[in-house]
C-alpha cells in the first residue's frame, strides 16, 4: 500500500465526544499502521459557532489520547481555494445560482410530499429567464448555489460497508454555497481533500449519503476519488445517538473523572468489531490490529460502565514506568505493584499512599488481641515474606485473624495484599497502629 494520507476534520463548535474520537482514532491507527500521514483539519467556516476555546479543547483532547498529527490546517485560512474551486465549477456548468427563499423551498417540499412524491429539487433555477434573475437581484435577493448532479448511479467499494451505490437521479442538487456566500461542509471538504491529496476518507456512516455527490465533485474538479470507510455510529446506553452539542460522553469529562486515555482508545478501537475488548498498555497494540474488514455494520453501544471496568483492568497491568510521572505521590515501583490491582482510577493510589505514609486513625476491633500482636512483630528489615511469618505466630485463623489486623493497619475493610503493604508501612507505624495509636 502507498503510504496513506488521512484527516480528522472536526468543527470547533463544541466539545468532542467519543463518537468524534472514534473517527479520529481509526484515522490515526490506519495512518500509523501503514506509515502514513494524519492531518488535523479544523472545519471552522461556521463563523457564528466556531470558537477558539473549542479549537484548543480539540487539540488538548487529541494530545491527551496520544493521537498526534503531522500537520494542522484550518478552513478559515483557505477561503481563496474555495473561491477558485467555486469558479471552476461555475465555468464547467456544474454550479448554478438559485433564488428561492427558504419559505418557497419549504412550500415546494411539502407540496411534493403531499403528492406522495420524493421532495427532490426541481431545478427550476436552471429555467429562470435572465430578466427574472435581474428582477430578483434588483429586489435584493442573493442566490444560493447548487451543484448539478449527473443523472447516474454512483458506485464505490466501501472499506467497511462493502459495495455501495447511490442513484443521484433521486437526490436533490446539493447546496454548496449559501446566499451569504459561505460554503457548506460537503464542498469545502472535497476541495481540501484534493489539496491535501487525501487517499482515504474515514468517517461515520452518517456521511454515506453525502458520498455520491462528493464523488461527483471530485470528478468535476478533475481529481482522483479517495477510498471511503464509513464506520457504524456509536449509540449510548439507551440506544440514542451521541452528540457534542449535548455533551454526550465528552472526552474532557472522561479525563476529569480519571479515565485513562488508553482505556478510551482501547474501547473505541474494538467496539463493534470482531475483536474482544481487552486492556492494553500501548497504542502500538491497537495499531497492529486495526483492520476495516473486522468492523461490523451494526451500531455499537458505548457504555460508560464498560469503560470504567476496562479502565481498572488497564491500571491493574500498567507498568510502573507508564504510571510514575502521573502518580500523586511516587513511592516507588514496589508501592505501585502493591496497590495497582486495587485501583479504579489512578487517583485512588493517593489513598493508599496515605495508608503507607500515615498518619491514619486505626480501627480497633479487638484491642487485647491487637496489643498482643504488636509484641510479636518481627524486627526489620521486612519483605513480602514478613506478613506470613508474623501472622503464623498469632493464635488465630481466617477472618478472626486477618480482619482485625487489616482494620488496624490500614483502617480499611479491603485492599491490596497485606504481604506487600506491611513492609511499606514499616515496623514503627505498624506497632503504633496495632496499639490503637494514630501513626
Residue where one domain finishes, among candidates 301, 321, 341: 321
Residue where one domain finishes, among candidates 304, 321, 338: 321
Buried b (16+ CB within 10 A) or exposed e, 322-361: ebeeebeeebeeebbebbbebbeebebbeebbebbebebe
Residue 38 pairs in a beta bridge with: 6
Q: Which helix (H) or strand (E) holds 289?
A: helix 283-289
> pLDDT tens digits for 12-39?
999 999 999 999 999 999 999 999 999 9
Residue 162: C-alpha distances to residues 156, 231, 275 (Å): 8, 12, 19
Question: 183, 158 in Cβ contact below 8 A?
Answer: no
pLDDT of the residue at 246: 45
pLDDT of the residue at 72: 97
Which residue in this structure is represented by grid cell 473549542?
54
**Would residue 417 count as lying in a domain?**
yes
Question: 65, 27 in Cβ contact below 8 A?
Answer: no
Domain extent, residue 376, equals 358-434
> pLDDT tens digits for 49-105?
899 999 999 999 999 999 999 999 999 999 999 999 999 999 999 999 999 999 999
**Would residue 377 count as lying in a domain?**
yes
**Would residue 269 count as lying in a domain?**
yes
**Would residue 389 count as lying in a domain?**
yes
pLDDT of the residue at 45: 86
- Whole-number Å distance between alpha carbons of 243 and 87: 35
**Which CATH number fits the domain that encloses residue 311?**
1.10.1160.10
**Would residue 71 count as lying in a domain?**
no
Question: 355, 411 in Cβ contact below 8 A?
Answer: yes
Give CB contacts under 8 A, 24+ apart, made by 64-68.
64/251, 64/255, 64/261, 65/21, 65/24, 65/25, 65/251, 65/261, 65/264, 65/265, 66/261, 66/265, 66/283, 67/8, 67/24, 67/25, 67/28, 67/38, 68/38
Residue where one domain finishes, among candidates 321, 345, 368: 321
Domains held by the chain: number = 2
Which residues neighbour 244 within 8 Å (Cβ) at sequence distance 6 or greater?
13, 14, 15, 16, 17, 20, 250
- Taking every pair of Cα atoms in the chain, the longest distance, rounded to a whole number of angstroms, is 107
**Which CATH number fits the domain that encloses residue 368?**
1.10.10.350
The one-digit pLDDT tens for each residue of the chain (439 residues) are: 789 999 999 999 999 999 999 999 999 999 999 999 999 999 998 888 899 999 999 999 999 999 999 999 999 999 999 999 999 999 999 999 999 999 999 999 999 999 999 999 999 999 999 999 999 999 999 999 999 999 999 999 999 999 999 999 889 999 999 999 999 999 999 999 999 999 999 999 999 999 999 999 999 999 999 999 999 999 887 676 665 444 458 999 999 999 999 999 999 999 999 999 999 999 999 999 999 999 999 999 999 999 999 999 999 999 999 999 999 778 899 999 999 999 999 999 999 999 999 999 999 999 999 999 999 999 999 999 999 999 999 999 999 999 999 999 999 999 999 999 999 999 999 999 999 999 9
Amino acid at each position: 500500500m502507498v503510504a496513506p494520507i488521512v484527516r480528522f476534520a472536526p468543527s470547533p463548535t463544541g466539545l468532542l465526544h467519543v463518537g468524534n474520537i472514534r473517527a479520529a482514532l481509526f484515522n490515526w491507527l490506519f495512518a500509523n499502521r501503514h506509515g502514513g500521514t494524519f492531518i488535523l483539519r479544523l472545519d471552522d467556516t461556521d463563523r457564528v459557532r466556531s470558537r477558539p476555546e473549542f479549537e484548543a479543547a480539540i487539540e488538548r483532547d487529541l494530545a491527551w489520547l496520544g493521537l498526534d498529527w503531522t500537520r494542522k490546517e484550518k478552513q478559515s485560512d483557505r477561503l481563496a481555494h474555495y473561491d477558485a474551486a467555486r469558479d471552476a465549477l461555475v465555468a464547467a456548468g456544474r454550479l448554478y445560482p438559485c433564488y428561492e427563499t427558504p419559505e418557497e423551498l419549504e412550500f415546494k417540499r411539502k407540496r411534493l410530499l403531499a403528492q406522495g412524491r420524493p421532495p427532490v429539487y426541481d431545478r427550476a433555477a436552471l429555467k429562470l429567464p435572465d430578466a427574472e434573475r435581474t428582477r430578483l437581484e434588483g429586489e435584493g435577493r442573493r442566490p444560493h448555489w447548487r451543484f448539478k448532479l449527473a443523472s447516474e448511479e454512483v458506485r464505490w467499494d466501501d472499506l467497511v460497508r462493502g459495495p455501495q451505490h447511490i442513484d443521484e437521479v433521486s437526490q436533490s442538487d446539493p447546496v454548496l454555497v449559501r446566499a451569504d456566500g459561505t460554503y457548506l461542509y460537503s464542498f469545502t471538504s472535497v476541495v481540501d481533500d484534493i489539496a491535501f491529496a487525501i487517499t482515504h476518507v474515514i468517517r461515520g456512516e452518517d456521511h454515506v449519503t453525502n458520498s455520491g455527490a462528493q464523488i461527483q465533485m471530485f470528478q468535476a474538479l478533475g481529481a482522483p476519488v479517495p477510498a471511503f470507510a464509513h464506520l457504524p455510529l456509536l449509540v449510548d446506553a439507551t440506544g440514542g445517538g451521541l452528540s457534542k452539542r449535548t455533551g454526550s460522553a465528552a472526552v474532557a469529562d472522561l479525563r476529569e473523572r480519571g479515565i485513562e486515555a488508553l482505556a478510551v482508545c482501547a474501547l473505541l478501537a474494538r467496539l463493534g468489531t470482531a475483536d474482544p475488548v481487552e486492556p492494553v498498555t500501548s497504542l502500538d497494540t491497537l495499531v497492529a490490529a486495526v483492520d476495516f474488514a473486522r468492523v461490523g455494520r451494526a451500531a455499537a453501544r458505548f457504555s460508560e460502565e464498560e469503560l470504567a471496568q476496562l479502565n481498572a483492568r488497564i491500571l491493574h497491568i500498567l507498568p510502573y514506568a507508564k504510571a510514575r510521572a502521573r502518580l500523586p505521590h511516587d513511592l516507588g515501583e514496589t508501592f505501585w505493584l502493591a496497590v495497582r490491582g486495587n485501583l479504579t482510577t489512578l487517583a485512588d493510589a493517593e489513598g493508599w499512599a496515605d495508608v503507607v505514609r500515615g498518619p491514619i486513625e486505626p480501627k480497633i476491633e479487638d484491642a487485647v488481641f491487637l496489643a498482643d500482636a504488636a509484641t510479636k512483630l518481627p524486627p526489620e528489615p521486612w519483605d513480602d515474606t514478613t506478613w506470613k511469618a508474623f501472622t503464623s505466630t498469632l493464635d488465630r485463623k481466617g477472618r478472626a485473624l486477618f480482619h482485625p489486623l487489616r482494620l488496624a493497619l490500614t483502617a480499611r475493610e479491603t485492599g491490596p495484599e497485606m504481604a506487600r503493604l506491611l513492609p511499606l508501612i514499616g515496623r514503627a507505624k505498624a506497632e503504633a497502629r496495632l496499639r490503637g495509636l494514630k501513626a
